[in-house]
Structure 1
Amino acid sequence: MNRLLRVALGACAIAFATVAGPAAASTYVVTIEQMRFNPPIVTVHSGDSVVWVNRDLVAHTASADLKGFDSGSIAPAASWRYVARAPGSHPYKCLFHPEMHGTLIVKPNP
């Protein structure tokens, strides 16, 4: 293979790697229904979004035990979106109904 062709192929490979970039963030849904978070444990990567959708007849919260995130009141038929950033295990609960609890597990990006 001649030198000019090798340089051109190398430039194409660099351009493709730049355009491809990192993987796109994903969105995960937690349904609040029948006084539960479903699924109760969600595993995501840093940068992914989690949306809590309230399908109950009363308001709820998704409030991290260690103050990492707090949705405030999520009204019936409403939702709240959170972009996960801090890796680790983040237990959370509904402040209005403390028997409702879940865990958000955030993994670092590969």
Structure 2
Amino acid sequence: MAMSRAGVSEAAGTTYQIVIEQMRFNPPVLTVHRGDRVVWVNKDMFPHTATGMSKAFDSREIAPNASWSYVARQTGSYPYMCTLHATMRGTLIVQ
């Protein structure tokens, strides 16, 4: 019996990495597509957050040597910051 392809989700998206190091998000601006996964990796010696200013996402505290991932579902431009260090800012663009 043949299986229907209806309802099958799109192929898994690409995974991108943002490194948190020296009090910065690197890269500071990242463009991805819907369905892509973004992983923030904290290489600093203290916790950080990746918190969307529009509340689209919130990592809560990412411990040193830990990571947090988010799958982009909605298109748009999402400025974000570290709520523990307000000068740390980045932008996630979802196409």
Task: Using structure 2 for the length normalisation, give the TM-score.
Answer: 0.88
Q: Which moved more, 1:41-50 or 1:22-31?
A: 22-31
Separation (CA, whole Å) in 2 of partners of 1:78 and 1:23: 27
More strand by share: 2
Structure 2 gap ranges (5+): none
Higher share of residues assigned helix? 1
* Residues 75-107 of structure 1, C-alpha deviations (whole Å, 9 max, x = no match): 000000100011000000000001000000000
Alignment-derived partner of residue 66 in structure 1:
54
Is 1:39 the counterpart of 2:14 in the alignment?
Answer: no
1 CA distance for matches of 2:72 and 2:10? Answer: 16
Kindly tell me the number of residue pairs found equivalent between the two proteins: 88
Letter in 1 for 2:93: I
* Alpha-carbon distance, 1:24 to partner: 3.7
SS of the equivalent of 1:104 reads: strand
- Cα separation, 2, equivalents of 1:102 and 1:56: 16
Report the structure number with the largest CA radius of gyration. 1
Identity within the alignment, %? 60
- 2:14 equivalent among 13, 18, 26: 26
Question: Higher relative contact order by CA 8 Å / sep ≥ 6: 1 or 2?
Answer: 2
* Cα-to-partner distance string for 1:47-88 (whole Å, 9 max, x where unaligned): 000000000001000000010000000000000010001100
Query: What is the aligned-residue RMSD (CA, Å)?
Result: 1.2
Q: Structure 1 residue 22: deviation in Å?
A: 4.5
Deviation by residue 1:17-55 (Cα, 9 ceiling, x = unmatched): x6xx84541000000000000000010000000000000
Partner of 1:48: 36
Runs of 4+ with >6 A deviation? none
Where structure 1 has 5 or more consecutive residues not aligned to the other structure, the ranges are: 1-17
